[in-house]
Amino acid sequence: MKGQIPYFNKKQRKAVLVLCGMIIALQIMIYASDYLQSEQQTELIVDKVVQNEIDSLKLLVQEKSRQRTFNPNFINYERGFRLGMSAEEVDRLLEFRAQDKYVNSVEDFQKVTGISDSLLMVMKSSFKFPEWTQQQNRSEIKAKPVLRKIDLNKATYNDLVALKGIGDYFANAVLNEREKLGGFVSTEQLHYVRGLRPEAVTLLKQTTFIKNKPSIVKVNVNTASREELAKIPYVTSYLAREIVVLRSKTDQPLRKEDLEKISSFPLDKFKIIELYLDF
């Protein structure tokens, strides 16, 4: 009859229950399949991210390995900032170097500059100290070597290259300068040898001395010609002209302090230049 609830016999009810069970099972299988597929995609995405990080690290290591090594004693503000150092850390290094001192190991560098352990780990792979300092740091040198002093004006090529840290280039630079000057009058002149690095100058000053100074024919600054003045070590042709011009502007003989009025006068070499002058 219309509106009457349909009647199912026992066999029909069983069939309905089986059908419902199949529908539920099918829904579970579809859900499980979607879940597993989602998990697999997530795992693939994670693996891709990890691989990208590994590739980036490999590129970074390769880039680091291509960087040129350098002696950290000569870090300036520009390089220090690029390496991640602060201005205060660079200042500490420069103040230390101003005392004519050198850092000879990674540990010394950190002690002087105060940089962090993490920054040191990044920087130290690019550090290159002189070979003899590394031997000493590895305890291959049991005791501090005794420095044998040699006469700078009589030293031979073999004498110079026998000094640790003085190779062929530095030895020839010193000998060429000595020949040009006719002999050194002071070990301070080592500072003005072209191409001689600060650490080599320090070593040479520690291991050399001047027993007999070369004979110097002094030039009278008040009567010498421009050409005669230009023959004095460290006096250029331009500086010689400036001395002559200054001399022409006064009726009084020039004194040592008068030369300081010349803007181009190399004051750092004044004590050496005055040895060649007669006032």
Instruction: Report the distance separating Cα 219 and Cα 274, nearest Å.
Output: 10
In this predicted model, what pLDDT tens digit does every residue of 42-51 receive, in sequence order?
A: 555 556 666 7
pLDDT at position 99 is 84
* Residue that the structure tokens 């001192």 belong to: 101
Specify which residues 277 forms β-bridges with: 219
Is position 38 within any domain?
no
Instruction: Report the distance separating Cα 159 and Cα 175, nearest Å.
Output: 11
pLDDT at position 140 is 46
- CATH number for 200: 1.10.150.320
Domain that holds residue 263: 219-278
Instruction: Report the distance separating Cα 89 and Cα 37, nearest Å.
Output: 54
Assign 3-state DSSP to the chain and report helix, strand, coil percentages, each to 5.
Answer: 60, 5, 35
Q: With beta carbons less than 8 A apart as the criterion, state whether 277 and 221 touch.
A: yes
Side-chain half-sphere exposure of 12, counting CA atoms within 13 A: 4
Is position 30 within any domain?
no
Is position 6 within any domain?
no
- Are 130 and 159 within one domain? no
Amino acid identity of residue 226, one-letter, is R
Is position 85 within any domain?
yes
Instruction: Report the distance separating Cα 164 and Cα 150, nearest Å.
Output: 14
pTM, two decimals, is: 0.43
CB atoms within 10 A of CB 133: 19
Is position 91 within any domain?
yes
- Are 98 and 133 within one domain? yes
pLDDT at position 138 is 53
- Are 202 and 229 within one domain? no
pLDDT at position 135 is 57
Instruction: Report the distance separating Cα 243 and Cα 276, nearest Å.
Output: 14
Weakly modelled stretches of the chain, pLDDT under 50: 1-2, 61-62, 65-66, 139-143
Number of domains in the chain: 3
Phi then psi dihedrals of residue 12, to 5 deg: -70, -40
